[in-house]
Amino acid sequence: QVQLVGSGGGSVQSGGSLRLSCAAPGRTFSSYAMGWFRQAPGKEREFVAGISAGYLTYYADSVKGRFTISRDNAKNTAYLQIDSLKPEDTAVYYCAARDGSVETTTTRYDFWGTGTQVTVSS
């Protein structure tokens, strides 16, 4: 079992930045692919970014150029740097882990973190 703890969300104005973190305390997660998803009110949870165990990165078209995913295996932590925030980025952001390659569908992930709210005002 992998426990993931998401943090770093907040309320920012359009154009601002946030850095989300996903920690796996006490657990080595270097072999897992990590994904970030988000869920806006009334919408399905959607993939935004993923990083493989080998540091290959993947992004949804809607966030390319603004979101950057990274990982620090020494700290058992994955990050999502979000720049140039837009009101449509408002959502609860979740991290997830799976033993294998990066996938874009929620059902392919085995472990989920606590969500962190991102609110962007215009």
Are 89 and 82 spatial neighbours (Cβ–Cβ below 8 Å)? yes
Cα 3 versus chain centre, distance: 15
Q: 3-state DSSP call for residue 74?
A: helix
Digits of tens for pLDDT over the chain (122 positions)? 778 999 999 999 999 999 999 998 777 788 999 999 999 999 999 999 999 999 999 999 999 999 999 999 999 999 999 999 999 999 999 999 999 999 999 999 999 999 999 999 99
Distance, CA of 85 to CA of 120 (rounded, Å): 7
**pLDDT of 84:** 97
Distances (CA, A) of 8 to 90, 92, 102, 110, 120: 14, 11, 23, 22, 14
Q: 3-state DSSP call for residue 75?
A: helix
